[in-house]
Amino acid sequence: MDSSYSSPTTKPLYRGTQVVWYILGIIEVLLAFRFVLRLLAANPSAGFSRFIYTVSYPFAAPFLKVFQVSKVESGIFEWTTLLAMFVFFLIAWGIVKLFFMSKTVSTTEAAAKLDKNN
């Protein structure tokens, strides 16, 4: 086994990536519910719909004016929610990649990865 697996940074790195993916999962589920509720024209005054719209709004708000909404029957295809989901995924992926850059590596492992990339 490589010595980098027993590094003191391995467990916090693992936990950090778990936290990032967990938070992303929560955000993605909220935005997915928002998307489906809007698409199916859910009653916005119903408790569940109101809860989802309220909780997901801070995550969707920065994107709400990027695209116009598309009407589908009585519902709304909210492209901006899909954009928000994509952007939050990219942010989480970038954070996890940044975490892995702090991983302790042996000289042998670093040399092998450098040779692989060239």
As a whole number, mean pLDDT of residues 27-45 equals: 97
Predicted local confidence at residue 1, as pLDDT: 45
For helices 47-60 and 79-101, the axis angle rounded to 10 degrees is 60
Question: pLDDT tens digits, residue range 57-72?
Answer: 999 999 999 998 899 8
Confidence of residue 103 (pLDDT cuts 50, 70, 90): confident
Whether 93 has a pLDDT exceeding 60, the answer reads yes
Mean pLDDT, to the nearest integer, of 13-21?
92
Give the ranges where the chain is alpha helix by DSSP (H): 10-39, 47-60, 79-101, 107-117
**pLDDT score at 6:** 61
pLDDT over 70 percentage in the chain = 92
Q: Pairing relation of β-strands 70-72 and 75-77?
A: antiparallel
**Domains in the chain: boundaries:** 7-117
Is 10's pLDDT higher than 70? yes
Task: Give dist(CA 83, CA 86) in Å, integer.
Answer: 5
For residues 51 and 86, what is the distance between their CA atoms, to the nearest angstrom?
22
Asked whether residue 101 carries a pLDDT value surpassing 90, the answer given is no
For the stretch 18-35, pLDDT in tens is 999 999 999 999 999 999
Task: Give residues with Cβ within 8 angstroms of 9, minimum separation 6.
Answer: 102, 103, 104
Task: Read off the pTM.
Answer: 0.80
